[in-house]
Amino acid sequence: MMLADIWSYQIGPDYWWLIVLKGVIIVLFLATAAAYSTYAERKVAAHIQLRIGPNRVGPLGLLQPAADAVKLLFKENVAPAGRDKLLYLVAPAFAAAAAIFAFAVIPVSGVSTVHGYQLHWDIAHLNVGLLYILAVTSLGVYAIFLGGWSANSKYSLLGALRSSAQLISYEMAVAFALMGAVILSQSLDLEQIVLAQHRAWFVLLQPLGFLLYFTGALAETNRLPFDLPEAETELVAGYHTEYSGMRFGFYFLGEYINMVTVCSIATVLFLGGWLPILPFLDFIPGVLWFLAKMLLLLFGMMWIRWTLPRLRYDRLMNLGWKVMLPLGLLNIAVTGAVVAVKASL
Amino acid sequence: MAAILPPQQPGLPGGEDTFAEGRRRLGVPPDLDNVELTEIGEDTMELNMGPQHPSTHGVLRLVLDLDGEVVRACRPDIGFLHTGFEKDFERHTYQQCIPYSDRMDYLAPLINNLGFSLAAEKLLGVEVPPRGQYLRVIMCELARLGSHLIWFGTHALDMGATTPFLYAWRERETIMDINELVSGVRMHTSFIRVGGLMADVPDEFEAMVRTVVHTFPKAIDEYELLITKNPIWRERTIGLGTISAEDALAYGMSGPCLRGSGVAYDLRKAQPYSSYDHFEFDVPIGVNGDVYDRYLVRMREMRESLRIIEQALDNLPSGPVNTLDRKVAPPPRNEINTSMESLIHHFKLVTEGFSVPRGQVYQAVESPRGELGFYMVSDGSNRPYRVKVRAPSFSNLHALPYMVKGELIADVVAVIGSIDIVLGDVDR
């Protein structure tokens, strides 16, 4: 085979090297974004709580994430006796992986044409992108459950049990919340969903769907008021009580990448993705619009965390099954009816 | 447990045998290493909560029997902060006991000072002048405010709301500043002493207390906005940890925990001390005796404390703050320079303290946690023969197993928060 053949070998519509390149960029971006979300979280928390926050390492404390990473890397990995060695080791890897997987199909900008070549701004352009996201985000629960189970600690076990119950009940509600957007755009392709919002963002047409998704997203990422799996004042640290060093770091990383991911999904599905807020502002690159909207949602999540108390476990399940799920179904029914009536007119 | 053994060196003690010998002498059973990690019986899991746990407020240890997340039984284990202060009282002169009393209920040290001082003064038969009494009231109510602020912050923290904690500490800081102003110390002030106070307050005192009186109502409004009407908070606390008035009395509960159940028992009203009967204030009570009612009682108590402080400040009499009995309170400096008798009094008080007539007395004060009683026996010497402290946290904690039975783990921390225990007070 000629070198040129290898070079032009395609997987789907894309050159293979382009996919690798995009993959590397996205993973680096996510790792950095996660690190700096911890910085942002601490800064936001500090200012809400009349403090200053990290300001010692580098200008404005901007190198704090690096210092944290170094600290975590050099910390001793204390592992409990009686653990399940294999699961204990691999569980943290799941935490980050599941969140990164989901990002593969998220279009961060519209299709651009480079030398006549259609460049998609996602790693894998799937026409069932939304289904893929729903599938892979469910993997996240394995990280928590296996980590909590394998550590052979009661607090970890309780955290793991809580999280599996929580994630399963919220997945359903979240999936239903997203269906409204699918009905309106008549597509599971995330690019098509964004393009369908060029007149009105779905947050305006689907306010209930957005609220349901955002609430569910808080529960899926274990953020307050739904941070029951790691409820530190009850379960010490929940499922990662027995993790330390970089293994704990992976859970930490996973949580923040997950936040970035769910905020990106919400941006794509409800906030018009890369579309500018007003049409004449389209000289600003789509990526920046995407980032700005994502960061806004991220800030919202932090704001909520530092304001509200935690829900109780049984109330949380009630909310998921008895409130959010019926509301999600209602949302689908109403949206479907409106679309059908409009089509028949 | 994997013991790390020192390397065996020839001719030196150490290694496996010495380790085993050491354990034998200490009476450690050899099968200690083979502890079962989970005990399953009657389908419950035993969970050890504390003594190192984020929300047991210090070093309380709870052994919970869990059925899923439901608490079937709760066994508190106390004593991790036992300090033997009651024994220490017997070895120190009365005035030297005051710093020990500070450290019992370390969130409201001044009220401990007051309880001890009042008991000793009752035996001595001395009366503190009105200005001293009013200043005691102001300082004690400030201490109550500070203690309730910490309770508010930690209670919210236990329920997952992190930010109110920091807000509460912001306000408490102004109280700490006042403590520092009057005594030079922020926490363990030992400001209230047998026979009066450490000293009269400086001129800045009034302005600083006025600031507290003016700024706190707004701050408390802010807390209420964050927490009181928060639906998550209400859902979690209403109907939780309910205890009826009869049960609360039977368990010997007092303070806001008892008032939350609807019993209007406040020692400041029931047995007024230190001129509390001069002030107009209400005793807030709850209806259902649940966590939310105890919460509301304390929030309203803060406002009542502010009322008392304002009245005391408006009507603050002038005059001395210490008793004029020179056998108890040291004479002022200028008197020592001129009067031989004063010099002798001063010398006696500094070297051996005052002697207290034979007798026994029980004096209770209303601490932020409830009835703080000092039972004091004197054999006529300059040291108490015996002091027994009736600690409100200890009695209130009794009701915990009753209140959390059948609730969830998350509720255990909520109930502990609502009892507002201080382990220094429980164990002493």
Q: Enumerate the residues of chain B whose CB falls inside 8 A of the CB of residue A313.
A: 69, 408, 410
Give, in degrees to the nearest 5, the angle at Cα B262 between B221 and B301: 30
pLDDT digits (tens, 9 = 90+) for A248-272: 888 888 888 888 888 888 888 888 8
* Interchain proximity B410–A312, CB inside 8 Å: yes
Burial B366-386 (b: 16+ CB within 10 A, else e): bbbbbbbbbbbbbeeebbbee
How many beta-carbon contacts under 8 Å exist across A and B?
82
Residues 6+ apart with CB under 8 A from B60: B50, B51, B76, B77, B78, B80, B397, B416, B421, B423, B426
pLDDT for res A1: 56
Q: How near does any CA of chain B get to the CA of A152, in Å? A: 8
Residue A58: how many other CB atoms lie within 10 Å: 13
Average pLDDT, chain B: 85
* Interchain proximity A225–B410, CB inside 8 Å: no
Q: How near does any CA of chain B get to the CA of A16, in Å? A: 47
pLDDT digits (tens, 9 = 90+) for A44-92: 888 888 888 888 888 888 888 888 888 888 888 887 777 787 888 888 8
CB of A229 closer than 8 Å to CB of A143: no
* Interface test with chain B among A44, A312, A314, by most B beta carbons within 10 Å: A312
Find the residue in B nearest to A82 (Cα).
B37
Q: How near does any CA of chain B get to the CA of A237, in Å? A: 9
* Interchain proximity B69–A158, CB inside 8 Å: yes
Q: Enumerate the residues of chain B whose CB falls inside 8 A of the CB of residue A45.
A: 162
pTM of the model as a whole: 0.82
pLDDT for res B1: 40
Whole-number Å distance between alpha carbons of A165 and A148 = 13
Ranges of each domain in chain A: 67-344
Q: How near does any CA of chain B get to the CA of A90, in Å? A: 23
- Could you give phi then psi for residue A112, rounded to 5 degrees? -120, 155
* Interchain proximity B157–A311, CB inside 8 Å: no
Q: Enumerate the residues of chain B whose CB falls inside 8 A of the CB of residue A315.
A: 235-236
CB of A282 closer than 8 Å to CB of A276: yes
Which has more confidence, A277 or B203? B203
Closest to B419 in 3D by CA, of B250, B173, B240, B265: B240
* Interchain proximity B160–A224, CB inside 8 Å: yes
- The separation between the first and the last C-alpha atoms of chain A, rounded to the nearest angstrom, is 58
Whole-number Å distance between alpha carbons of A99 and B299 = 43
* Interchain proximity A312–B235, CB inside 8 Å: yes
Q: Enumerate the residues of chain A whose CB falls inside 8 A of the CB of residue B3.
A: none
pLDDT averaged over consecutive 10-residue blocks of chain A (345 residues)?
69 74 85 86 87 85 87 83 81 81 81 72 79 84 82 82 80 84 84 81 83 86 73 71 81 85 88 79 79 89 85 81 88 88 84
pLDDT digits (tens, 9 = 90+) for B9-22: 555 555 667 767 77
Whether B62 has a pLDDT exceeding 80, the answer reads yes
* Interface test with chain A among B40, B154, B162, by most A beta carbons within 10 Å: B162
